[in-house]
Structure 1
Amino acid sequence: MNQLFSQDKLNIINVGLKGFGQDAMSQGAVVKQVEWKPVAGGRKDIIEALDKVEPLAEKIKEANETVVSRMKAAKPVLVGMDLALNVVPEMTEHTILHAGPPIAWENMCGPMKGAVIGAVLFEGLAADDEEAVKLIESGAIKFDPCHEHKAVGPMAGVLSAHMPVHIVKNETNGDYAYCSINEGLGKVLRFGAYSKEVLDRLAFLRDEFMPVMQKALALTDGIDIKLITAQALQMGDECHNRNKAATSLFYKQISQLILETDCEKAAIQKTLSFIAGNDHYFLNLSMPACKLITEAGQNVPYATIVSTMARNGVEFGIKVSGIGTGEWFDYASNYIEGLYFPGYSKEDANPDIGDSAITETTGIGGMSMAGAPAIVQFVGGDVEDAFNTTKRMYGITTDINAAYAIPNMNFKGAPMGIDMLKVIESGVLPVINTGIAHKEAGIGQIGAGIVNPPMECFYQALLAYVKKYA
């Protein structure tokens, strides 16, 4: 020890508390600071759980490789459009689906309650909002997560019987997923608005827009959503909060099909104008496509890959492949850090909400921010932040998806297969790009930013995993 400290110059690696290193530096030593924190914040139950799964390492590795290979093999294509009642599994006249994990009416946030009231009015089940609330409180309406019915919905995610949905098929295994039509910005149902203009737009989508789209899609074997996503990622989209390129690519294909139909000119014009005027149209195609990709890797024994991330505006919920489809692990949703529209602040915001985090679950969206540098103008930060975010995401995922090449990463594939074990061990959480909803129904989007799932969701999943396998 005396010989060590008798040297003229010490080179010290300081782990953890910076104070010790600073003291050494003041004595002339060269100090390299290593940022370190105990795993899981030192939580004994989680550390013990990690120790218990360690002997399963080889089985977990093989299972996760199986999950990712199935996700990569998925080929989602848009094949049609129909009313939810006709195609969504177990949908009824009195069923309303919502975003995120299960939640009761009395616990719903403002935007979701507003969207539910709007859906009841749209279905003709009530004459006004007061009557709608009475009907809901009577127990006549059945609520369920979209995810439990092979569907997904942005923001409030509310879906009722006579709303039109995109029908997306995984050509690899024949599975289907469904999503509503993106209404555009402003006063829309997904943010809890239910004024006459909102209900009239929903009626237009059902009575005028859908028939044209049905005829157009009948002329093709399907529009390849995976291919459009791959192209859009190389054109500056991340296909969650930025969909300009993807919507344009979709418009290029669907417009040709629409023009080949025998629909009246006025109907064609209104349909094309609606898509062209909504940069986020593709989001409601990206989401069911991502749902199919993650569903392909669901229910693989021993797998630790996250298959679902979703928020209902109150709680954030995840599912894990190896634990099964029936179990949610949820905790209070975080507030989004980002940029607010003029006149709004964090005090106006609702906690994180929507099923659109299914995009990040497959490796796009916030996970691939490096490929969409322009997104920082919308969510905050700078280009370097976007680049570094994607670099961190490779550390918590199982593989890369070469089909989704990111130009700014030297065409490296997007990070794919969020591993709950890597999340817990590293303390690095998935990053989600998303919009910020006002906490009151009907006001709409008030900003955009990034958010993380609560770590507690992953802790709960790990404990359930240990109970099942260890």
Structure 2
Amino acid sequence: MKKLFNQPLTVINAGLSSFADNIKQAGADAINLSWQPPANGDKQSGLNLASIVNDPIINQANELAMSKYLASQPVLVDVMLAKEAIEGLKETKRILHAGPPIAWNDMCGPVQGAILGAILYEKWADNLDDALKLIQNNSVVFEPCHHFNAVGPMAGIISPSMPLWVIKDNQHPSNPPVFCNFNEGLGKVLRFGANSQEVLDRLDWMGTELMQAMKAAVEQTSGIELKPIMAQALHMGDEVHNRNAAATGLLLKQLIPALLNTSLEQSKVKKAIEFIMQNDHFFLNLSMAASKCMLNAAKGIENSTMITVMARNGVNFGIQMSGTGETWFQAKANPVNGLFFPGYGVEDAAADLGDSAITETAGVGGFAMASSPAIVKFVGGTPQDATNNSHLMQAITIGSNPAFTLPALNFTPTAAGIDARKVVDTGILPIINTGIAHKQAGVGQIGAGITTAPLSCFVDAINALVKKKNS
């Protein structure tokens, strides 16, 4: 003991950093350990977490869920109209939206504007006033895309006459297909709530000529594997959420030869190719659908704490967890910290919005930012911040995905398989990079940035799993 106190001593301080500061001011060495009680300090939630944190049954369930996710092979196999692909859109006036369930009166401006635009596109009403009356008369049903195995960016609107990509899992052929809409490009677009005649005319073309071209092209292939495109794009500077320039180019390499083998008019083929070439985000929707497909393979594993859905509707953030099925756990969406276009600021922004957080749920997007240093010019921060985010996510995941590797990190696999236990235990929140929509319908995108999932969603999910496990 005497020898111990004759040596230089360093204090490790856990908790308030002011204690460490006082020790340093007194001339001693102190290291401050950033720590906070799990589960936001809620005692019962902390006890629930403790009861399963090293549970071999939970660990085994997570290993199974993770293995199914890793084995998944999403393949683009077809293009269909939504009313042909999704049973629930055939007869009822139903419109699908991003994020967890939400009532019309609670929706944010961009989602309401996009829904009104979809009603006009479907010709259920002749003008915006009549479209609003339809809604007020409860003549239109709204449900999340995820309830129909679909995803959509930002407002995420899918209505019956819209074209959808159809993605199947070749490794799990009994799983139902996943659907996503076509990406409209940037500017005044439906997914940001715009509903002008220009927007409707573009949607009409996309639902006819562009759909015909994409369907014909896909039919010329034996299916387009999406996982290799995502993996290669990560090596070319994408993170396949907010940056899809490389992935869109790789998709075009397969679409163009296929299009040239069709009997379509050359002018229509040319217009389709030009549209895609002018839209670096074209692959985004396919990236989302591929991520959904991979995570669907991990759904419904009893006792698993692996997160299978993260989604936002512009008001609330919702998650689903493998071991609790399709139950939503929701909290108010966190604000987005980012860069705004000139003339706009945080007071103009809608809350976090869109199904595109499914990419982070699958281990890309914000989790793979180290592969895309250029993304910081869009969402803010530095290349080192992007690398740090990719490192940090390893602390809250079950494992990693060897199919998706990060060149900047010596080809380290991306962190994957968000474990709700680790989120609640560490307080480290899943990183999401995202576009920022104006809070008013139709203004469009006003910036991009970084946000996180709210902790309380994961606390609620753990509490629900423990209750289910003990019942």
TM class by shorter-chain length? over 0.9
- Counterpart contact for 2:317–2:453, Cα < 8 Å: yes
- Counterpart contact for 2:156–2:191, Cα < 8 Å: yes
Deviation of residue 8 (structure 1)? 7.2
Is 1:74 aligned with 2:69? Answer: no
Q: Unpaired segments of 5 or more residues in structure 2?
A: none
Q: 1:29 to 1:114 in 2, by over 3 A?
A: same
- Counterpart contact for 2:329–2:461, Cα < 8 Å: yes
Q: Give the counterpart letter for 2:436 in structure 1.
A: I
SS in 2 for 1:334: coil
Is 1:210 aligned with 2:187? Answer: no
> Which residue is equivalent to 1:140?
139
> Which residue is equivalent to 2:305?
304
> Which residue is equivalent to 1:14?
13
> Which residue is equivalent to 1:448?
448
Distance 2:89 2:209 in 1: 23
> Which residue is equivalent to 1:408?
408
Deviation of residue 41 (structure 1)? 3.1
Deviation of residue 196 (structure 1)? 0.3
SS in 1 for 2:88: coil
Q: Give the counterpart letter for 1:43 in structure 2.
A: D
Distance 1:353 1:18 in 2: 35
Post-superposition Cα deviations, 1:107-154, rounded to whole Å, max 9, x if no partner, equal 111000000000000000000000000001111111110000010010
> Which residue is equivalent to 2:386?
386
> Which residue is equivalent to 2:124?
125
> Which residue is equivalent to 1:331?
331
Deviation of residue 53 (structure 1)? 2.3
Q: 1:29 to 1:116 in 2, by over 3 A?
A: same
Q: Give the counterpart letter for 1:160 in structure 2.
A: S
CA-atom RMSD, angstroms? Answer: 1.4
- Counterpart contact for 1:228–1:250, Cα < 8 Å: yes
> Which residue is equivalent to 1:98?
97
- Counterpart contact for 2:82–2:89, Cα < 8 Å: yes
> Which residue is equivalent to 2:357?
357
> Which residue is equivalent to 1:178?
179
Deviation of residue 9 (structure 1)? 4.1
Deviation of residue 21 (structure 1)? 2.4
Distance 1:42 1:206 in 2: 51
Distance 1:347 1:377 in 2: 21
Distance 1:323 1:44 in 2: 22
> Which residue is equivalent to 1:340?
340
Distance 2:406 2:267 in 1: 40
> Which residue is equivalent to 1:278?
279
Deviation of residue 28 (structure 1)? 2.6
> Which residue is equivalent to 1:163?
162
Deviation of residue 89 (structure 1)? 3.6
SS in 2 for 1:322: helix
SS in 2 for 1:64: helix
Post-superposition Cα deviations, 1:393-420, rounded to whole Å, max 9, x if no partner, equal 0110011110111111111111110000
Deviation of residue 460 (structure 1)? 1.1
> Which residue is equivalent to 2:366?
366
- Counterpart contact for 1:219–1:257, Cα < 8 Å: yes
> Which residue is equivalent to 1:58?
56
Distance 1:22 1:219 in 2: 67
Q: Give the counterpart letter for 1:346 in structure 2.
A: V
Distance 1:14 1:124 in 2: 65
> Which residue is equivalent to 1:395?
395
Q: 1:11 to 1:213 in 2, by over 3 A?
A: closer
Post-superposition Cα deviations, 1:293-346, rounded to whole Å, max 9, x if no partner, equal 000000001100000000011110000000112x10001111110000000000
Please, what TM-score do these two structures have when normalized by structure 2?
A: 0.97
> Which residue is equivalent to 1:464?
464
- Counterpart contact for 2:113–2:442, Cα < 8 Å: yes
Q: 1:12 to 1:256 in 2, by over 3 A?
A: same
Deviation of residue 5 (structure 1)? 9.7
Distance 1:108 1:264 in 2: 42
Q: Once structures 1 and 2 are overlaid, which stretch shifts more, 168-177 or 351-360?
A: 168-177
Deviation of residue 6 (structure 1)? 6.6
- Counterpart contact for 2:84–2:90, Cα < 8 Å: no
Q: Give the counterpart letter for 2:314 in structure 1.
A: G
Q: Give the counterpart letter for 1:67 in structure 2.
A: A
Distance 2:455 2:468 in 1: 20
Q: 1:251 to 1:8 in 2, by over 3 A?
A: closer
SS in 2 for 1:308: strand
- Counterpart contact for 1:88–1:151, Cα < 8 Å: no
> Which residue is equivalent to 1:107?
106
Q: Unpaired segments of 5 or more residues in structure 1?
A: none
SS in 2 for 1:363: coil
